[in-house]
Chains A and B, each alone.
Chain A
Amino acid sequence: MLHFRTVKLGTKSLLLHPMRSLLTVLGIFIGVASVIWLLAIGEGISKEAQRQIEDLGAENIIIRSIQPPDESGGNFRQITAFGVTRNESKLINDTISTVKRVLPIRELKQKFAYTGNPNVKPIDGRLVGCTSDYAEVTRLEIDRGHFLTTREVELNRPVCVIAARLADKLFPSEDPLNKQIYLPEKKELFKIVGVLKHRNATAAIGGSLAAQDFSLDIYIPVTTMRARMTDQESKRSGGSFSTKLFELSQITVQVKSADDVPRTAELVEATLRQNDPNRQDISVVVPYELLEQAKTTRLMFMMFMGLIAAISLIVGGIGIMNIMLATVTERTREIGIRRALGGKQRDIVLQFLVETITLSIVGGITGILMGLLCPVAVDVSRWGLEYFAPQLYASLPEVARVMRPTIVPISIPVAFGISVVVGVFFGLYPAVRAAQLDPIEALRHE
């Protein structure tokens, strides 16, 4: 039976060598804390990844236009159209029954200027031609004014909605609403009817979909864009001329239910590739599938993290075993005395086992406390890095900056359980060795 006295004695024996006990505890402490930390960070990262994919919309299918590599050898008279077309967009909308709606989007890199304030230089941004549904599907939120209306889109109105950061930059001291944005490259003016709220960027996915920043966007009706800028886009850079011809940059197909996504994706792809199965100028991205992939990746990631943590716990356990073996040798005489005074072999096993388990439980509990500090510690270190090394901080990947560590509840009992098991497992051998000493030999030990 485990007597309170045994535990008390074990603690006393450990306190006889505080430094040694502390270092031994440290091994388990680090092991347990790292289990919790690694799992929390892993969970945080994969949650963030999932969130970013979900931002794209699990019920969406995204078709991007891709400009094929230029094979004309600089001959600008040969201009071929590429990418997904308005007809295809309409076809998908009309023929596939599971499709709720199709959003045509056309994007151009543009400079934006505000002529009302001479101090503000033109800013490079993205001009997005879209429809009134765009805000809802991409989860853009309006701060002031309103998003493009169906009527504005139908009537080719020269109006626009601007993103928050762009608004801050172009209108540092004015209300942007109802001001005119000037596009120097197109020599066009657009009236601002809405300003968006700040939002985080989405992830870059598989190379086919660039990370979307949204922060320097201007949204205009896609109809207006077609009427005023045509489908041809010419750019002059460093003396050479390049011309692109494309109707749409992207269509976002919204499916009625997420369950229908895989089937619809196949139909969409079949529709787009009916004439040319090897079509290179489009890419179909299915966030739903990415989400499924991300879940599998997450599992792998967690297992990997768990493995690393388990290794550190084993190292901690070996530390315990090492110390206990040394302790047994050092306390051979005490073992002899105890045996002579009537201690049975199992009393001796228990005595030493109690010591290792005490060490590992103390390490386990402090490790859990340390583990719970993970989110705070990550915030503090981010803050510190941002304060003392802003450049380094800015160069961190997006996910490292926004990810919030999420403590996995199960990791706490698991870590604690493992630390106890480690204590028993690595403590048993030294304890049994101590118990098997011959009492006569042990008494003679100096």
Chain B
Amino acid sequence: MSETSTRMAAVIRDLQKHYVLKSETVRALRGVSFEVPEGDYVAIMGPSGSGKSTLLNLLGCLDQPTHGSFLLGGDDVARMTDDELSTIRASRIGFVFQSYNLIAQLSVVENIEVPLYYMGNLNAESRKRSIELAKMVGLGERLDHRPTQLSGGQQQRVAIARSLVNDPYFILADEATGNLDSVTTEEILALFQRLNDEGKTIIMVTHEDEVAEHAKRVIRLRDGEIQFDKPVEGRKVFTAKQIQEIAHNADVASHGAD
């Protein structure tokens, strides 16, 4: 009943991507179709060479498909110019990278604001919003810190706050926990779950089964095609109490680091 009325964050139809390397054509994606409804939590998995990264680049609007369509909020991204793609990236996608990718010259709050800066939406309101997001990820007291003054987990939390600042259609996380230890990985995954519980759509690319177990749904790629697309059985869910505890511990840990 509610299935039909659910709005789609992303709709992908027969997505193909071919690369021409010298005389050889590499078919990285051979027709991939799936939908991501709002509020979904998808893990995209697959061995290297499966087309995982290609799909990620297409979902992130960093690249354009050879064939097929990618509907993002009703607009077909596949036919856009470079400038239009930039605007889409700034306004509709929230990137979280493996290596955090914060800008070294900027403070925590300025890093969070970068997508707004490129949308031309910088003002007192947006500053307030950025500060709130920093508080939400537990970095309210480090607004003026530089990335180099933060731990890996803290940097990733800044990156997550940054991915939320433009209220995107979905958060696109690329091996977001790949550089983190197991404690910090839990911390980030708990944060993702909390955001998902609040209604945020999350697409994450990972090769770790333990990480994928936290998602609602897994899409597994093999040789440029979808091998399977199914809900996660026995999904690992943090209880509200656990989430609180983890956040608290992270807070204590980061204060201890001072």
Select which of A16, A342, A344 is within 8 A of B104 by beta carbon. A16
A340 close to B (CB within 8 Å): yes
B240 close to A (CB within 8 Å): no
Interface contacts (Cβ under 8 Å), in number, total 68
B90 close to A (CB within 8 Å): yes
Q: Do residues B89 and A334 form an inter-chain contact, with CB atoms below 8 A?
A: no
A440 contacts across to B, CB distance below 8 A: 57, 62-63
Complex CA distance for A16 and B115, rounded to whole angstroms:
22
Select which of A12, A339, A341, A344 is within 8 A of B105 by beta carbon. A12
How large, as a class, is the contact surface on chain B? 20 to 34
Q: Do residues B101 and A345 form an inter-chain contact, with CB atoms below 8 A?
A: no
Return the CB mask of B76-120 against A: 1 if under 8 Å, else 0. 000000110011111100010100011111100000001101111
Complex CA distance for A294 and B83, rounded to whole angstroms:
60
Q: Do residues B90 and A342 form an inter-chain contact, with CB atoms below 8 A?
A: yes
Complex CA distance for A341 and B82, rounded to whole angstroms:
13
Q: A9-B105, A440-B57 are in contact. Are A341 and B62 (CB under 8 A)?
A: no
Q: Do residues A344 and B62 form an inter-chain contact, with CB atoms below 8 A?
A: no
Complex CA distance for A339 and B63, rounded to whole angstroms:
12
How large, as a class, is the contact surface on chain A? 20 to 34
| Nearest-Cβ distance from residue A115 to partner chain B, whole angstroms | 86
A347 contacts across to B, CB distance below 8 A: 86, 118
Complex CA distance for A16 and B88, rounded to whole angstroms:
31
Cβ < 8 Å to B, chain A residues 370-400: none
B122 close to A (CB within 8 Å): yes
Q: Do residues A345 and B82 form an inter-chain contact, with CB atoms below 8 A?
A: yes
Closest to B86 in A: A344
Counting chain B CB atoms within 10 Å of each CB, which of A1, A3, A334, A345 scores highest? A334
Complex CA distance for A345 and B84, rounded to whole angstroms:
11
Q: Do residues A341 and B122 form an inter-chain contact, with CB atoms below 8 A?
A: no
Return the CB mask of A305-333 against B: 1 if under 8 Å, else 0. 00000000000000000000000000001
Closest to A6 in B: B117
Complex CA distance for A5 and B117, rounded to whole angstroms:
9
A302 close to B (CB within 8 Å): no
Q: Do residues B83 and A3 form an inter-chain contact, with CB atoms below 8 A?
A: no
B153 close to A (CB within 8 Å): no
Q: A333-B101, A443-B101 are in contact. Are A340 and B95 (CB under 8 A)?
A: yes
Q: Do residues A5 and B118 form an inter-chain contact, with CB atoms below 8 A?
A: no
B101 contacts across to A, CB distance below 8 A: 333, 336-337, 340, 443
| Nearest-Cβ distance from residue B171 to partner chain A, whole angstroms | 13
Select which of A5, A333, A341 is within 8 A of B95 by beta carbon. A341
Q: Do residues B122 and A5 form an inter-chain contact, with CB atoms below 8 A?
A: yes
Q: A344-B82, A440-B62 are in contact. Are A9 and B122 (CB under 8 A)?
A: no
Closest to A442 in B: B62
Closest to A343 in B: B118
B224 close to A (CB within 8 Å): no
B60 close to A (CB within 8 Å): yes
B119 contacts across to A, CB distance below 8 A: 342
Complex CA distance for A13 and B104, rounded to whole angstroms:
9
Complex CA distance for A334 and B111, rounded to whole angstroms:
12
| Nearest-Cβ distance from residue A342 to partner chain B, whole angstroms | 2
Closest to B90 in A: A342
Select which of B90, B97, B118 is within 8 A of A443 by beta carbon. B97
A157 close to B (CB within 8 Å): no
Return the CB mask of B131-162 against A: 1 if under 8 Å, else 0. 00000000000000000000000000000001
Select which of A3, A12, A334, A342 is within 8 A of B122 by beta carbon. A3
Q: Do residues A338 and B114 form an inter-chain contact, with CB atoms below 8 A?
A: yes
Q: A3-B122, A9-B106, A439-B62 are in contact. Are A344 and B95 (CB under 8 A)?
A: no
Complex CA distance for A340 and B114, rounded to whole angstroms:
11
Q: A9-B106, A13-B105 are in contact. Are A340 and B122 (CB under 8 A)?
A: no
B97 contacts across to A, CB distance below 8 A: 443
Q: A5-B122, A439-B62, A440-B62 are in contact. Are A341 and B89 (CB under 8 A)?
A: yes
Complex CA distance for A208 and B90, rounded to whole angstroms:
80
**In the complex, given contacts A9-B106, A336-B101, A345-B83, what are 19 additional A-B residue pairs having Cβ atoms less than 8 angstroms apart?**
A9-B105, A12-B106, A16-B104, A340-B60, A341-B90, A341-B95, A342-B88, A342-B91, A342-B166, A343-B86, A343-B118, A344-B82, A344-B83, A344-B87, A345-B82, A347-B118, A440-B57, A440-B63, A443-B97
- A-B pairs with beta carbons under 8 Å apart, 14 shown: A3-B122, A9-B105, A12-B106, A336-B101, A337-B101, A337-B103, A340-B60, A341-B90, A341-B95, A341-B114, A341-B115, A342-B89, A443-B97, A443-B101
